Amino acid sequence: MKTQVFGDIRVDSITEFEFSVPPGDLLVGLTPEDVAEHEYWLGPRLVEPGTRNLAVHMHAYLIRTRHHTILFDTCCGNDKERSYFPAWHRLQTPFLQNLARAGVSPEQVDFVMCSHLHADHVGWNTRLLNGEWVPTFPNARYLISKGEFEWWRDAFERGSVKPYRKLSFTDSVLPVVDRGLATFVEDDYAFENEMPDEVRYVPLHGHTKHHCGLYLRSRSQEAIFTGDAIHHPIQFARPDWINAGYDNAAAIQVLRGLIARCIDTPTKLMTAHFPEPTAGCVVSGAVHPRFRFDAD
């Protein structure tokens, strides 16, 4: 786990697991031949040699301010029924042990912030205890976009989304709602009266209708937690290679906007699925922007 420090705020990446996926399964229309054109600068950390599959990393962000302990997104979770995607099915990972290695127990988490409600971002909201899904972080407020929750709730009632999507809603979202731990917020929610540092949601709509990132600023140092606004560094070369979502055109514009906002600035992007060290900066390249990992 690589620690990032932004003024008075400490951020750690808490690993769940890593795997690789065929290019077209991650980004719409991306072929192994497309990957081959960019393999020379991506390297073996990002592209699996031989297969040209793309590396994907699952992690949450542990954010510690002077007053609060926050988790941004909670990965896939253990024991979850996800037979539609074997890489996530009935996992047994040391996520909570990795959190403990960073010095935090589940009871010490004050806030869980969800970028959106896809299965691989809400899984550790709950854990299986005596056959029941219970909140993993019993003292936390789970912050969820009001629009995001209502969109999925209504979609399930209408039957307008694939049934498998309801699995994570049922086992990882509703248990925290039913126990009164969820707080529904607007997509630009800020901790104005709760934190002296600036920590707020930032709308990055497209991947889902109300997908949000997180903006953090302390002592003039800034970071943007991207959620699923970007999935792999190859997208800096072609932002139109996008993970299929609610509104792909909007998602492309969001990614282009992030690149334009951050390129050649000190603002860090805290990505959701890049390999360790997961964070870095957008920099100009000879042909297209690239991502410079903090270790590079």
For position 171, what pLDDT does the model report? 98
Asked, for residue 253, whether it belongs to a domain, the answer is no
The model's pTM: 0.96
d(Cα 253, Cα 230) in Å, to the nearest integer?
Answer: 11
Asked, for residue 236, whether it belongs to a domain, the answer is no
Asked, for residue 275, whether it belongs to a domain, the answer is no
Number of H helices, E strands in the chain: 8, 15
For residue 48, give both structure tokens.
């699996």
Residue 296 has pLDDT above 80, yes or no: no
Domain that holds residue 46: 3-225
Structure confidence at residue 191 as a pLDDT band (50, 70, 90): confident
Q: How many residues does the chain have?
A: 296
Domain count for the chain, please give it.
1
Tell me the per-residue pLDDT of 239-267, one tens digit each, with 9 for 90 and over. 999 999 999 999 999 999 999 999 999 99
CATH of the domain at 174: 3.60.15.10
Which candidate, 180, 117, 137, 146, places its Cα nearest to that of 14? 137
Rounded (to 5) percent helix, strand, coil in the chain: 25, 30, 45
Higher pLDDT among residues 176 and 198, named by residue = 176
Asked, for residue 140, whether it belongs to a domain, the answer is yes
Mean pLDDT of the chain: 96
Tell me the per-residue pLDDT of 42-55, one tens digit each, with 9 for 90 and over. 999 999 999 999 99
Over residues 219-229, the mean pLDDT reads: 96
Specify the amino acid at residue 270.
M
Asked, for residue 249, whether it belongs to a domain, the answer is no
Asked, for residue 174, whether it belongs to a domain, the answer is yes
Tell me the per-residue pLDDT of 133-179, one tens digit each, with 9 for 90 and over. 999 999 999 999 999 999 999 999 999 999 999 999 999 999 999 99
d(Cα 185, Cα 167) in Å, to the nearest integer?
Answer: 23
Asked, for residue 296, whether it belongs to a domain, the answer is no
Asked, for residue 283, whether it belongs to a domain, the answer is no
Place of tokens 């900066």: 281
| CA dist list (Å): 169 to 83, 101, 166, 200, 231 | 15, 29, 5, 24, 22
DSSP string computed for 227-275:
ETT---GGGGT-TT-----S-HHHHHHHHHHHHHHHTTSSPEEEESSSP
